[in-house]
Structure 1
Amino acid sequence: MRAKILAWLNENVPPKRIQHILGVEQMAIELATHYQLDPDIAAQAGLMHDLAKYFKPQRLLELARAEGLSIDEVDIAAPHLLHADVSAIVARAEFGVTNPEILHAIADHTLGRPGMSQLSCIIFLADTLEAGRGDTPELQALRELSYRDLHQAVWHACDYSLKYLLSTRCLIHPRTILTRNWAMTMSFDRVASAPLNRIPA
Structure 2
Amino acid sequence: MRELPKALQTDGTSPQVNQSIALSGLLPPPDRTRARVLAWLKGNVPETRIRHILRVEQFAIELAQLHGLNVEKAAQAALMHDLAKFFKPKRLLSMAIAEGLTLDPIDESNPHLLHADAGAIVARDEFGVQDEEVLDAIRHHTLGSPTMTLLGCVVYLADGLEPGRGNTPELEELRRLSHEDLIQATWRAADASLRHLIQAGHLIHPRTVQTRNAFLQQYKQTEAKPRTLQNHFVKGIQP
Q: TM-score range by the shorter chain?
A: over 0.9
Of 165, 176, 182, the match for 1:150: 182
Aligned equivalents of 1:16 and 1:171: distance in 2? Answer: 27
Q: Name the counterpart of 2:11.
A: none
Task: State the distance in 2 between where 1:88 and 1:62 align.
Answer: 14
Deviation at 1:110, TM superposition (A): 0.5
CA distance in 1, matches of 2:216, 2:204: 18
Partner of 2:120: 88
Aligned residue runs from structure 1 range 180-199, under 5 A:
180-194=212-226, 196-197=229-230
Q: Distance in 1 between matches of 2:226 and 2:109?
A: 43
Instruction: Give the residue type in structure 1 aligned to 2:221.
Output: D
1:64-79 pair list within 5 angstroms? 64-79=96-111
Equivalent residue, structure 2, for 1:20? 52
| Match for residue 165 of structure 2 among 116, 133, 152 | 133
1:8 equivalent to 2:40? Answer: yes
Q: CA deviation at 1:103?
A: 0.2
Distance 2:220 2:196 in 1: 24
Deviation at 1:197, TM superposition (A): 3.8
C-alpha displacement of 1:94: 0.7
TM-score by length of 2: 0.82
What CA deviation, in whole Å up to 9, does each residue of 1:134-168 have, x standing for no partner? 01111000000011111110111011111111111
Secondary structure (helix, strand or coil) at the match of 1:89 reads helix
**One-letter amino acid of the structure 1 residue matched with residue 225 of structure 2:** S
In the other structure, the counterpart of 2:88 is: 56
Q: CA RMSD in A?
A: 1.3
| Number of residue-to-residue matches in the alignment | 201
Q: Structure 1 runs of 4+ off > 3 angstroms?
A: 195-201
Same amino acid, percent of matched pairs: 56
The one-letter code matched in structure 2 to 1:69 is L
Higher alpha-carbon Rg: 2
**Shift in Å at residue 194 of structure 1?**
2.2
Unaligned runs of 5+ in 2: 1-32
Counterparts of 1:17 and 1:166, CA distance in 2: 26
**In structure 2, what is the Cα distance between the partners aligned to 1:35 and 1:200?**
32
Question: Can you list the C-alpha shifts for 1:33-81, whole angstroms capped at 9, x where unaligned?
Answer: 0111121111000000000000000000000010001101100000000
Any gaps of 5 or more consecutive residues in structure 1? none
Instruction: Give 3-state SS (helix, strand or coil) of 1:147's partner.
Output: helix
What is the TM-score of this pair, normalised by structure 1?
Answer: 0.97
Q: In 2, Cα distance between the equivalents of 1:86 and 1:138?
A: 30
Distance 2:171 2:230 in 1: 32
Q: What is the CA deviation profile of residues 19-44 of structure 1, one whole-angstrom value per residue up to 9, with x for unaligned ones?
A: 11011100100000011112111100
